[in-house]
Amino acid sequence: TQLLEQSPQFLSIQEGENLTVYCNSSSVFSSLQWYRQEPGEGPVLLVTVVTGGEVKKLKRLTFQFGDARKDSSLHITAAQPGDTGLYLCATHPSGGGADGLTFGKGTHLIIQP
Amino acid sequence: SAVISQKPSRDICQRGTSLTIQCQVDSQVTMMFWYRQQPGQSLTLIATANQGSEATYESGFVIDKFPISRPNLTFSTLTVSNMSPEDSSIYLCSVDAVGETQYFGPGTRLLVL
């Protein structure tokens, strides 16, 4: 089973600050997904990265996939209270899309107004 | 995208009893998955539910404890049997979509006393 290590586990910052969270593995990812989960809801997919070195942007969120496809980062610019939530990285352990996801432990993010 | 509903949304149960959780999707899907999210933790895959065949369970989860039904392409149930306080968790179903995207239901919050 591919293990995903996320850091930091907890992060509390002020509104307007920037932050980066990380997802690492000792194995190569076939692809990597980032989800955000808000209290009382299921995870919602933010992005899927597939190609080494890939960078994707979603408004103030920037996702990077490492060249070796063993790590990924999520950078949030000018964080807002609405960004508060649990950020999870996940991958398909077999490399295909027809199986369940393996999740990292997540980063609990709190943005204080 | 797929819209997923779960019933019940939450429940409080006595130890030794069983609870069946329903998952309904608004479109036909091939793969459905059940996850457990223990308090403050990430998601762990319980099993994959395929229509017309027995569910496939992950290591640490057994059919006697978590029987699953998948009678058609839009519906599945997960039963948590002979519950103990350690089963207190959020139980989420998800479905696969085109490509590798998974959509999650809102979860069922279970408290076992």
Domain with residue A83: its CATH number is: 2.60.40.10
- CB proximity under 8 Å: A 22-61 to B: 31, 33, 40-45, 48
* Domains of chain B in sequence order: 4-8+19-104 (2.60.40.10)
Q: Establish if A72 touches chain B: CB-CB under 8 angstroms.
A: no
- Alpha-carbon distance of A3 to A70, in angstroms, equals 11
Q: What is the mean pLDDT of chain B?
A: 93
Q: What is the mean pLDDT of chain A?
A: 92
Range of the domain at A60: 5-112
Q: So what's the pLDDT on residue A1? A: 63
Counting the structural domains of chain A, the total is 1
Does the beta-carbon distance from B48 to A100 stay under 8 Å? yes
Q: pLDDT tens digits, residue range A71-105?
A: 999 999 999 999 999 999 999 877 665 688 999 99
Q: pLDDT tens digits, residue range B77-108?
A: 999 999 999 999 999 999 987 665 789 999 99
Q: So what's the pLDDT on residue A51? A: 93
